[in-house]
Amino acid sequence: MRGGLITFDKVWKTYGVGEARVEALAGVDMVIDRGEFVAIMGPSGSGKSTAMNIVGCLDTPTEGRYGFMGVDAGRLDRGRRALLRNLYIGFVFQGYNLLPRTTAAENVELPLIYRGIPGAERRKRAMDALAKVGLTGRERHTPAELSGGQQQRVAIARAIVTSPTLLVADEPTGNLDTARSHEIMDLLAGLNEEQGLTVVMVTHEADIAAHAGRIIGFVDGRIGSDQLRAEAEVA
């Protein structure tokens, strides 16, 4: 398998049979290296969400190989894929998925509870993660006491509190206004540039994708374009 943090080698994903058969991915080759910030774009039905699910070890190819950190992750059983996700991947979604009756700090601590981290260490790591996303002083606020942008910052803090190798972001600004959207994208870009966090993001908005260093466009289950940001700006 070729090098790279993330590797697709002729990846196919098929749903249904007979006349209901749909090829969501059709022989995709793709390599994403450590430290990249990649935006995946495409219209509805283009395969971008299917590709994201495979990248995040939430789904597996029908054919071909998906490599993550040198492991053929597409052939792992469900339990081992879950372990891979828990150890190395953080997720941010369009919906913030915060527990409504718990504080920001308690929401951020959740992944650490699952890892069996002692309480004092959990709280320290949660506070550090909240500081990284600019929420010092908001640690004891519940989601209802936070704006949409602040809630997404809590969700990002929760995703990075375990120091993941990869951050997967699925339409992370979909519920935010323009100003808050660009604040969140500046935050993700900062985490990528300053901490070397690899970010793979799905978005349908060109101005959001423009924050990434590389933009991959999907069309009909295939990669239609793959450009570095500088190349895209020139074009």
For 113-123, write each residue's pLDDT tens digit: 988 999 999 99
Predicted pLDDT at 217 = 97
pLDDT at 136 over 60: yes
- pLDDT tens digits for 17-74? 888 899 999 999 999 999 999 999 999 999 999 999 999 999 999 999 999 999 999 9
Predicted pLDDT at 88 = 96
Predicted pLDDT at 122 = 96
Calculate the average pLDDT of the chain. 94
Structure tokens at 226: 């793959």
Q: Which domain holds residue 132?
A: 6-234
Cα three-residue angle 194-167-158, rounded to 5 degrees: 90
Closest residue by Cα to residue 85 from 12, 171, 167: 167
Cα three-residue angle 166-171-174, rounded to 5 degrees: 145
Predicted pLDDT at 20 = 85
- Residue 69 placed within a domain: yes
Question: Which helix or strand (DSSP H or E) is residue 23 part of?
Answer: strand 22-32
- Residue 169 placed within a domain: yes
- Residue 152 placed within a domain: yes
Q: How many helices and strands in the chain, by DSSP H and E? A: 8, 10
- Residue 1 placed within a domain: no
Percent of the chain with pLDDT over 90: 91
Q: What are phi and psi of 212, to 5 degrees?
A: -80, 160
- Residue 14 placed within a domain: yes
pLDDT at 159 over 70: yes
**Mean pLDDT across 209-226:** 97
- Residue 22 placed within a domain: yes
pLDDT at 230 over 80: no
Predicted pLDDT at 232 = 56
Where residue 94 sits, what CATH number does that domain have?
3.40.50.300
Number of domains in the chain: 1
